Amino acid sequence: MKKHNFSAGPSILPQEVLKQASDAVLNFNNSGLSLLEISHRSKDFVDVMEEARELALQLLGLEGKGYKALFLQGGASMQFVMAAYNLLENKAGYLNTGTWSDKAIKEAKLFGDVVEVASSKDKNFNYIPKDYAIPSGLDYLHITTNNTIFGTQLKNIPALDIPLVADMSSDIFSRELDFTKFDLIYAGAQKNMGPAGTTLVVVREDILGKVTRKIPAMLDYTQHISKGSMYNTPPVFAVYTSLLTLRWLKENGGIKGAEENNDKKATLIYSEIDLNPLFTGFAALEDRSTMNATFNLTEDNLKETFDTMLKEAGISGVNGHRSVGGYRASMYNALSLKSVGTLVDVMSELERKA
Ligand SMILES: *Cc1c(COP(=O)(O)O)cnc(C)c1O
């Protein structure tokens, strides 16, 4: 029986996408060949790459607005490096809202001065800093729109007159935003888009080519753009499966449709966390993520009972990250409201039992 999959990443994908992807592994487009055994330069695969790049821009509302989409390798962690390599000439600002921002900052420091414009480290990243000043002379500001580990999410995206760079790994395509506010967006596929192995990068072309350092080809956005995201052999399976998810998203109401579902799921779990005396939320109320809900039991001795009940209900992947503890329910686009309902039922059943 298929489990209710709350894994933080790699994470749930639509069942029909998994089916289509597995079909393509055996017989791609009725070609009598596997997706995995054809040239990436063949028309069939070039079409996949082109459609995926276009659809990503289309879903974000960025078509014809000076942006290019790329499917690169190395994960979001490689983008911590590439963003700074391509954009940091003197000084960049970073908003430190969690483990991933922290890592992005460490990498950027290899390339120039980094100003931590604000940080929520003082409270183990359980909130998003709000009243901070942006110093002058920054090459860009870097933010993490959703903090996967801590369960916080930026609700207000700053409007700036310098480039805005965002790690959207865990909430890309999950909610409507004015994406034109961003100049560089990146997201590892394995949270909300596809399998591990590719990272979506969306970049406004006119911010590139401004740094004086030499950039190795594989780390140079301009090179990847000029080669149509095919500078070298792309991760064909990850790109194709991401395309299938993007098609699925489009057929299901696009980002708007996803956001409506995600809001319902988040409302359901957070009201249970707030009403049930056995649970307490980790993140500050106003910063709660619609993607990752972090919570704890108020009585540690109920852990074993709760864990057993979760298992019996077919719920998988709700253990919290080691740096936060407790529980984390990740509710990416492909997770159904019914799965969240099942989790909430177990939580209220625990209250009845205890
Ligand atoms: C998972 C995650 C990362 C790391 O992604 P990799 O693809 O493993 O490098 C970075 N940032 C955020 C917000 C994440 O959720």
Annotate 129-152 with DSSP letters as a single string. Answer: --S----TT-S-EEEESEETTTTE
- What average pLDDT does the segment 251-275 reach? 98
Query: In this model, does residue 63 exceed pLDDT 90?
Result: yes
Structure tokens at 330: 């990740």
Cα–Cα dist 246/194, whole Å: 9
Residue nearest to atom 12 of ligand 1 (CA): 169
Q: Where are the domains of the chain?
A: 4-11+254-353, 15-251
Q: What's the predicted TM-score (pTM) here?
A: 0.98
16 and 252 in contact (C-beta within 8 Å)? no
Q: pLDDT confidence of 1, banded at 50, 70, 90? A: confident
Catalytic residues: 100, 167, 191
CATH H-level superfamily of 4-11+254-353: Aspartate Aminotransferase, domain 1 (3.90.1150.10)
Reported as a single tens digit per residue, the pLDDT across 267-286 is 999 999 999 999 999 999 99
Reported as a single tens digit per residue, the pLDDT across 75-105 is 999 999 999 999 999 999 999 999 999 999 9
Q: How far, in Å, from the CA of 76 to the mean position of ligand 1? A: 5
Residue nearest to atom 14 of ligand 1 (CA): 169
Angle between helices 15-26 and 236-251 (to 10 degrees): 140
- Phi and psi at residue 95, in whole multiples of 5°? -95, 120
Q: Is 167 in the pocket of ligand 1 (CB under 6 A)?
A: yes
Which residues share a beta bridge with 142?
Answer: 94, 165
Residue nearest to atom 5 of ligand 1 (CA): 76
Query: In the CATH scheme, what architecture does the domain 15-251 have?
Result: 3-Layer(aba) Sandwich (3.40)
Pocket test for ligand 1, best of 71, 97, 100, 149 (most atoms within 8 A of CB): 100
